[in-house]
């Protein structure tokens, strides 16, 4: 209860004065309007206060607007570092042949493609090992080996679910270019109300997505519902930087450079201003861990990467 109250206060107050001082930002923030209070339930869209009904539409517009330039923006803003973070998420997942993955807020498919590549590489390595270890294969074994080599994914499957049709459209084109024909499905759906039955998936991932959802608690409950008992929740998201010097440089970079890049590369300053503001609004590592536990997950842990610029949270439905 106390944790929930402190979380609510934290959400109302933002990151606070000390962070503002460290970031050389005025404590009221650059983009925070003076009075944006509206009647009814309200939430945040970056530093702006909006009604809960408005938020979903605004987030939709952001990703509709950036979809075509999304991938090139990520490489430019992070100098490719987002690829390393996504690879680390897959290493943590360590999927096996047969894993059914649901990638929510899957956007242009980065996590899904990594998953397919991981499974394919793992199966190929296994087949090579088997072939080497059997000097004299029986007909049955030769048959099995050929069958496996024709379907390197086995029973593995990934569903990419995202609320935004434009992001999925870009993802589907990318899948064609990369030659991913099997083992994936694209579904339009809301993280808060997933269009899937209970106990369906072995792993649920959400990368850079949960920050944009209006009711994070509902998205976490949905993650819990669709996972099989024993299933794993994995979330890659921006988090809190621990080192004050890096934090200050990061704030400078975020507020001074990223929106400019957004304007130059994607012709969209506002969406990238929203990105950096939404990062500051998201709860720090420990706070988010508690939210995951509140949804019913057990053995919840997290790992901070690159000084806490991002973190991977993990939990199990036991």
Binding residues: 108, 162, 190-191
Distance separating alpha carbons of residues 145 and 165, to the nearest angstrom = 39
Which partner in ligand SAM, ligand LIM22CUA, none is near 256 (CB below 5 to 8 A by kind)? ligand LIM22CUA
- Nearer to ligand LIM22CUA by C-beta: 93 or 105? 105
- The CA radius of gyration of the chain, in Å to the nearest whole number, is 21
Binding mask 176-215 for ligand LIM22CUA (x = CB under 6 A): --------------------------------x-------
**CB 261 → ligand LIM22CUA: shortest distance, Å?**
8
Choose among ligand SAM, ligand LIM22CUA, none what residue 213 binds, the Cβ cut-off being 5 to 8 Å by kind.
ligand SAM
84 lines the binding site for ligand LIM22CUA (CB under 6 A):
no
Given ligand LIM22CUA, ligand SAM, none, residue 91, with its beta carbon under 5 to 8 Å by kind, binds: none
- Kindly write out the interface string for residues 214-253 of this chain, putting x where it contacts ligand LIM22CUA by CB under 6 A and - elsewhere: --------------------------------x--xx-xx
For the bound state, the minimum distance from the C-beta of residue 55 to ligand LIM22CUA, rounded and expressed in Å, comes to: 14
Q: Cα separation of 223 and 102, whole Å?
A: 9
Residue with tokens 């809301």: 190
Burial class (CB in 10 A: 0-12, 13-18, 19+), 90: middle
Which residue's CB is nearer to ligand LIM22CUA, number 207 or number 226?
Answer: 207
**Residue numbers at the binding site for ligand SAM (CB under 6 A):** 59, 63, 104-107, 110-111, 162-164, 167, 190-192, 207-209, 212-213
Q: Are 229 and 199 in contact (CB under 8 A)?
A: yes
Out of 55, 82, 280, 313, point to the residue binding ligand LIM22CUA (CB under 6 A): 82
Q: Does residue 67 interact with ligand LIM22CUA by CB under 6 A?
A: no
Which residues are annotated binding-site positions for S-adenosyl-L-methionine?
Answer: 108, 162, 190-191
Question: Which residues bind to ligand LIM22CUA, rule: CB under 6 A?
Answer: 62, 66, 70, 73-74, 77-79, 81-82, 208, 246, 249-250, 252-253, 256-257, 271, 274-275, 306, 309
């Amino acid at each position: 209860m106390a944790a929930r109250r402190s979380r609510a206060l934290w959400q109302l107050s933002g990151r606070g004065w000390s962070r503002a001082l460290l970031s050389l930002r005025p404590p009221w923030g650059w983009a925070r309007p003076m009075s944006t209070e509206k009647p009814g339930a309200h939430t945040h869209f970056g530093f702006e206060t909006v009604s809960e009904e408005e938020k979903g539409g605004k987030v939709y517009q952001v990703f509709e607007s950036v979809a075509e330039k999304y991938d090139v923006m990520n490489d430019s803003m992070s100098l490719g570092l987002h690829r390393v973070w996504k690879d680390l998420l897959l290493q943590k997942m360590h999927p096996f042949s047969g894993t059914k993955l649901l990638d929510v807020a899957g956007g242009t498919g980065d996590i899904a493609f990594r998953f397919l590549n991981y499974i394919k590489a793992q199966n190929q390595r296994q087949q090579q090992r088997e072939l080497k270890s059997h000097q004299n294969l029986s007909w049955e074994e030769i048959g099995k080996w050929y069958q496996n080599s024709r379907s390197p994914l086995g029973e593995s499957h990934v569903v990419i679910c995202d609320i935004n049709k434009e992001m999925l459209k870009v993802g589907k084109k990318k899948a064609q270019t990369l030659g991913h024909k099997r083992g994936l499905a694209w579904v339009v759906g809301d993280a808060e109300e997933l269009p899937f039955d209970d106990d369906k998936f072995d792993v649920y991932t959400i990368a850079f997505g949960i920050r944009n959802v209006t009711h994070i608690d509902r998205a976490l409950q949905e993650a819990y519902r669709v996972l099989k008992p024993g299933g794993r929740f994995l979330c890659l998201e921006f988090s809190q930087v621990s080192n004050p010097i890096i934090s200050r440089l990061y704030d400078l970079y975020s507020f001074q450079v990223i929106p400019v890049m957004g304007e130059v590369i994607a012709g969209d300053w506002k969406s990238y201003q929203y990105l950096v503001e939404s990062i500051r609004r998201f709860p720090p590592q420990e706070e988010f861990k508690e939210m995951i536990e509140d949804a019913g997950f057990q053995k919840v842990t997290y790992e901070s990467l690159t000084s806490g610029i991002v973190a991977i949270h993990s939990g199990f439905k036991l």
